[in-house]
Structure 1
Amino acid sequence: MPTLGHPAERDEARPMHAEAAQASPPLERLRARARHENFPVALRVLPPQYRRHLLTLYAFARMVDDIGDAALGDRLSLLDGVSAELDRVYAGTTGDDPLYRALAHTVSVCDLPRSELERLVEANRRDQVVHRYRTFDDLLGYCELSANPVGRLVLRVFDADSERRCLLSDRICSALQVLEHCQDVVEDAYAGRVYLPTADLERYGVAEDDLVAPVADTGVRAAVALQVQRAVRLLDEGAPLVNELRGAARLAVAGYVAGGRATARALADAGFDVLARTPRPRRSHVVVSWLASLGAGGAR
């Protein structure tokens, strides 16, 4: 049984190239990665101006995550460098980096608040020092940094944000983050991180080394199933947001809800065994769920 978080095992399991995280990777490569994520279903039908802004935000978030997850050297220092670049973006003194130039354009056109972008950076700072979350509420506190800002920025891109809509969006985004953590249990474990709440692991008799076994035992499956159930509940609570939106914003948010529901279905179809392989939603299930979300305002 490999030791959880052992450097050699961690490097073998790491899905991204560390060298790509040392500096901003090519913008178009980061944008292209969006098409391989769980929730790009609405991107293809959105008007180009919205699509480009959303892909730019994705590229920024992905770049920051790559630094926090895979960069060699002092990651905290590199993340401080991202904050310094944000200083320049908001001061109007962006250099030649294509990603930050694109981000500066999106920030200007959509009047994006810096605080939400900075929270994404702060989430990755936290990842360097916090590797376990005791309760589900603790995990949701992390999602307030790592996931919820994305939804708030998306609403701002569509000029569709309000206090109520942002709160509904937070539930959707937290659900998506929890589902991603369920998919990535093995990858996270080899990186020395456990996002399944430790109180739930103890409840089902799961030791951390069980998270890198070839097949999930009943305890691991039960712990994952509980998180999926909680995520679906969050999706249900946030889904009324779809009915509050119109046009492109409605298409996009319905797509995120659909991606979440299809991912939850994939995890359930796999019997919540996330160790033998990573359950991924079928594209057909995403599309069907997306159309259902549009027809029922996000309701299941």
Structure 2
Amino acid sequence: MPFASAVDHYENFPVASVLCPPAWRGAVVAMYRVARMADDIADEGDDPPGVRLQALAQLRATLAGLWADDTATLAAAAPALRALHEQRQRHALPLAPLLDLLDAFEQDVRWTATGRRYQDEAELLDYCRRSANPVGRLMLHLAGVRGAEAVAQSDAVCTALQLLNMAQDLGVDLSRGRLYLPRSWLLAAGADPDAPPATWPPPALAHGVLQLVALARQHLRRGWGLPLGVPGRFGWELRVVLHAALRLAQRIEAQGGRTWLRRPRLHWHDSPLLLWRAWRHPVHRPVETNRHPCLDQRPLP
């Protein structure tokens, strides 16, 4: 998930980095920790689906109580939730994006438990709308950016980051019984979506991963101008995130999409290059290399 932070877990796209405005850092970290709490409920440990869903429902009820300033809820809340409550009051954070995130986590649990698969690209993008786009909307709220164009661009960028994360984490997700490649893509690549994933031909899986990357690039094009409408350090942060997304896409493509064999990732030693690209190549002139020739990878506008 494209929340950015150097706390607790590795992330590709650090939002609470040195470029994050200090006045927002407490809010970003508080949101990240609660989102990570929900993510861990959905994915970590050996709890059965019913227990996970009950815990997510309790988290949803706690958030509703905090936003209603219920004193009993606040007294019983975990420290991370009390910290979020404090930042909510300070920045007037909206509740709806956080509830959308919880809805996506709940879907992960339910669909994994029942073996339900994404039918097509539309279902996949609807999941991204709830699992990723709320993050960008919360960040725009902190930045005081309210325009419809900026929101649409932010949604596009967050969806792209989520799609890249899916491509990167194919092996991890398969080990959890979860798959984000739509059935329509698998059929088109010659795989039987109803058969066990272990029986699918590797080229079909690799094609699906590259389709995720191609779709991510399409959304990056739509959101590429977002930093132009965001002032100050956050605008520069967004430039770095966009170039980090391109670099990750290039690494996945360089592996031919076979991310289940070796998980590509960004490292801290990538930072100097990303900072240089963010400065040297403005948002209307991105750097692109190693584009996969079989997919729609036209240069970003």
Length-normalised TM-score, structure 1: 0.82
Cα distance, 1:174 vs. partner?
A: 0.5
Q: Is 2:175 the counterpart of 1:198?
A: no
Distance 1:169 1:298 in 2: 16
The aligned residue for residue 19 of structure 2 is 45
Deviates more, 1:42-51 or 1:152-161: 42-51
The aligned residue for residue 97 of structure 2 is 116
The aligned residue for residue 132 of structure 2 is 147
Cα contact 2:164–2:213 (8 A) shared by 1: yes
Cα contact 1:133–1:198 (8 A) shared by 2: yes
The aligned residue for residue 267 of structure 1 is 252
Q: Is 2:65 the counterpart of 1:88?
A: yes
Distance 1:127 1:41 in 2: 24
The aligned residue for residue 8 of structure 2 is 33
1:86-135: per-residue Cα shift (whole Å, max 9, x none)?
Answer: 02221223225210111112211221111111001111111122341111
Distance 2:107 2:84 in 1: 23
Distance 1:32 1:91 in 2: 28
Distance 2:119 2:272 in 1: 35
The aligned residue for residue 65 of structure 1 is 39
Q: 2:109 aligns with which of 128, 131, 154?
A: 128
The aligned residue for residue 10 of structure 1 is none
Cα distance, 1:210 vs. partner?
A: 7.3
Distance 1:290 1:210 in 2: 43
Q: 2:241 aligns with which of 256, 268, 289?
A: 256
Structure 2: give runs of 5+ residues left out of the alignment: 287-301
Deviates more, 1:133-142 or 1:62-71: 62-71
Answer 1 or 2: which has greater helix percent. Answer: 1
Deviates more, 1:150-159 or 1:36-45: 36-45
1:275-296: per-residue Cα shift (whole Å, max 9, x none)?
Answer: 2111112444454334434541
Distance 1:284 1:268 in 2: 20
Deviates more, 1:238-247 or 1:153-162: 153-162
Cα distance, 1:161 vs. partner?
A: 3.0
Cα distance, 1:252 vs. partner?
A: 2.6
Structure 1: give runs of 5+ residues left out of the alignment: 1-29
Distance 2:15 2:284 in 1: 15
Residues 132/291 of structure 1: CA separation in 2 closer, same or farther (3 Å cut):
farther
The alignment-based identity, stated in percent, is: 29
Distance 1:241 1:217 in 2: 36
Matched positions, count:
269
Higher relative contact order (CA closer than 8 Å, sequence separation 6+):
1
Residues 197/224 of structure 1: CA separation in 2 closer, same or farther (3 Å cut):
same
The aligned residue for residue 297 of structure 1 is 283
1:166-199: per-residue Cα shift (whole Å, max 9, x none)?
Answer: 1110000001111111111122112121101111
Cα distance, 1:217 vs. partner?
A: 2.3
The amino acid of 2:12's aligned partner reads N
1:26-76: per-residue Cα shift (whole Å, max 9, x none)?
Answer: xxxx96225x21011761233332222212111111111111112514111
Mapping 1:144-223, distance limit 5 Å: 144-207=129-192, 211-212=197-198, 217-223=202-208
The aligned residue for residue 11 of structure 1 is none
Cα contact 1:175–1:235 (8 A) shared by 2: yes
SS in 1 for 2:7: helix
Cα contact 1:211–1:275 (8 A) shared by 2: no
The aligned residue for residue 78 of structure 2 is 97
Q: Please list every run of at least 4 consecutive aligned residues from structure 1 whose deviation after the TM superposition is greater than 3 angstroms.
A: 207-213, 282-287
Distance 2:184 2:155 in 1: 24
Q: In angstroms, what is the RMSD of aligned CA positions?
A: 2.3
